[in-house]
Amino acid sequence: MIACGTLNGTLKRRISLVLAFAWLVSPALSASGAKSHRSAAAASPGFAWDVRGTWHVEGELGPILTGDPVQPGALLEPGEGELSHSITVLLPDGQQVLYECFTAKDCARGFRVPALIRAPEPFAADMLARIRAALVQQRGQTQTIPAKENHIARDEAAAAPGPGNRIEIGGLAAALSNGEYSGDLRSFDVRYQEQSGIALAKSGRSIALRVPGPGLFLLTITDSMKRPRIEFMIAVAPEQGSSVIKSFQEAHALLTEWREDFFGWPMHDFQRAYLRSLMLNIRPAAGSERETASADPPRPGVTAEPTFTPQASLVDGDIAVTLQCATPRAVIHYTGDTSEPFETSPVYHAPIIMKKKPLTIKAFAESPGKKDSPVVAGNFRIRGKED
């Protein structure tokens, strides 16, 4: 095995010079950077999604549940006694990171949530806070309508009612063949009764539907063969409700962008939670954030966590990513395909090249006589024109 940071020949000397220079200038930069990172993290937490097994933030006793806030840089640790754990963390800069473990040794390492790679937009932070609030409220049961069919296509829409409370529904409805359909309409508002067998005609890019009034609805569209085809969640904006439609359109565009960059964003679940937040006035509770430091001092008896040079971020083009470890004689195991690193994973010995495609590196370090470091993740993404 090759100790972390071990290189050969000219490449070793060149990288050593670069690292030496970085070490000389790093104290002031790291101090200011850590301070700004902590303030950004405290103001814009992410949250946990699809939590399986028991997880907690280091130093806290309470378990992490789906929808709970998670700060960038937090150290997450699985509970003992269970061998299968997984957790997805979604961050307000668009990062989506899955960590899972299946053995006691792998789970014992824990997982360090990545730092933000860009400052979150105010709208993105507010959107995630609203989605999280809706998910947390739904956990304890609120105004919820269960889906009648679990395996049909889902879509979401926001519309303004026209004369006679008629709305036009596009989205996935545009892909339906022209013809006759029926619909079942259910409302989150107890004033509106469920309507079954509504006649629907598709002859263009949308389907017209009459609703009882403004509110939040679930519409199941069924074809002439009695097969459910699409379940829509529809927000019908009240008068002067253009802000609802605009906010939903902006959220849809942002989630679509994030999903293209980090595969796995739960589009439909999040769009539905966001519509529920907008239409049912669900807001984050004051003081509901977890305050977690984004940088921890070295822990006695634990191998130092691998670090990335350059730091995980948006980049302008091809780069070479170097891994380092501050613990003497440590060995770094890593993956570059988003999968989890194990003892059988490749040992780091040379820079990892990012060439024209996004790169996600996961790594941990081991050293004689010490516990393995937590797994760390670095997301490197190509800077878009909008950045």
pLDDT tens for 260-282 read 888 889 999 999 999 999 999 89
| Start-to-end Cα distance in the chain | 41
Name the residue range of residue 97's domain: 44-142+261-296
- The mean per-residue pLDDT over the stretch 328-335 comes to 97
The region of weakest confidence among 128-137, 217-226, 292-301 is 292-301
Confidence of residue 375 (pLDDT cuts 50, 70, 90): very high
> What distance in Å separates the CA atoms of residue 364 and residue 56, rounded to the nearest whole number?
19
| Confidence at residue 139, expressed as pLDDT on a 0 to 100 scale | 78
DSSP lists the bridge partners of residue 164 as none
Shared domain check, 172 and 114: no
- Give a yes or no: residue 4 inside a domain: no
> What distance in Å separates the CA atoms of residue 273 and residue 279, rounded to the nearest whole number?
10
Shared domain check, 211 and 162: yes
Confidence of residue 80 (pLDDT cuts 50, 70, 90): confident
Shared domain check, 224 and 282: no
| Confidence at residue 43, expressed as pLDDT on a 0 to 100 scale | 54
Give me the torsion for CA of 328, 334, 336, 340, rounded to 10°.
-140
Confidence of residue 299 (pLDDT cuts 50, 70, 90): confident
| Confidence at residue 308, expressed as pLDDT on a 0 to 100 scale | 96
Shared domain check, 136 and 59: yes
Shared domain check, 131 and 61: yes
Give how far Cα 100 sits from Cα of 51, 72, 184, 266, Å.
10, 18, 40, 18
Question: Which pTM value belongs to this model?
Answer: 0.80
pLDDT tens for 196-238 read 999 999 989 999 999 999 999 999 999 999 999 999 999 999 8
Looking at the structure of the chain, the number of domains it has is 2
> What distance in Å separates the CA atoms of residue 364 and residue 373, rounded to the nearest whole number?
6
| Confidence at residue 6, expressed as pLDDT on a 0 to 100 scale | 39
- Out of 239, 272, 288, a domain closes at 239
Shared domain check, 49 and 138: yes
| Confidence at residue 269, expressed as pLDDT on a 0 to 100 scale | 94
69, 290 Cβ separation under 8 angstroms: yes
pLDDT tens for 92-121 read 999 999 999 999 899 999 999 999 998 999
Q: Does the pLDDT of residue 85 top 70, yes or no? A: yes
- Give a yes or no: residue 49 inside a domain: yes
Encoded tokens for 171: 């989205």
- Give a yes or no: residue 345 inside a domain: no
% residues pLDDT > 70 (the chain)? 81
Shared domain check, 163 and 122: no
Shared domain check, 120 and 49: yes
Q: Give the single-character DSSP code of 155.
A: E
- List helix spans (H) across the chain: 9-43, 104-109, 122-139, 242-261, 267-280
The region of weakest confidence among 140-144, 187-191, 249-253 is 140-144
Instruction: Compute and round to an integer the Cα radius of gyration of the chain.
Output: 24
Encoded tokens for 325: 């470890």
- Give a yes or no: residue 90 inside a domain: yes
- Give a yes or no: residue 333 inside a domain: no
Q: Does the pLDDT of residue 2 top 60, yes or no? A: no
Shared domain check, 185 and 124: no
| Confidence at residue 261, expressed as pLDDT on a 0 to 100 scale | 86
The region of weakest confidence among 115-124, 163-172, 238-247, 335-344 is 238-247
- Give a yes or no: residue 37 inside a domain: no
Tell me the torsion sign for CA atoms 52, 274, 216, 183: negative
Q: Give the single-character DSSP code of 344.
A: T
- Give a yes or no: residue 127 inside a domain: yes
CATH of residue 188? 2.60.40
Confidence of residue 84 (pLDDT cuts 50, 70, 90): confident
How would you class 332 by CB atoms within 10 Å of its CB: exposed for 0-12, middle for 13-18, buried for 19 or more?
buried
CB within 8 Å of 74: residues ≥ 6 apart: 57, 58, 112, 113, 290, 292, 294
Shared domain check, 138 and 55: yes
> What distance in Å separates the CA atoms of residue 118 and residue 313, rounded to the nearest whole number?
7
> What distance in Å separates the CA atoms of residue 168 and residue 160, rounded to the nearest whole number?
9
- Give a yes or no: residue 109 inside a domain: yes
Q: What's the whole-number average pLDDT of the chain? A: 84
Shared domain check, 194 and 110: no
Shared domain check, 159 and 138: no
| Confidence at residue 130, expressed as pLDDT on a 0 to 100 scale | 94
| Confidence at residue 79, expressed as pLDDT on a 0 to 100 scale | 87
- The mean per-residue pLDDT over the stretch 294-308 comes to 81
